[in-house]
Amino acid sequence: MIHSYQTRVYYEDTDANNIVYYANYLKYTERARTELLREIGFESKDAIAKGEGFVVADLNIQYNASAKLDDIVDVRTRVLEIKPTRITLKQDIYKGDVRLTATQISLAYIDLEKGIRKIPQELVNLLEGYK
Helices and strands counted in the chain (H then E): 3, 6
Which residues carry out catalysis?
15
- At 63, which helix (H) or strand (E)? strand 52-63
Give the Cα-Cα-Cα angle 76, 107, 14 (nearest 5 degrees): 50
Q: How far is 98 from 118, CA to CA, in rounded Å?
A: 37
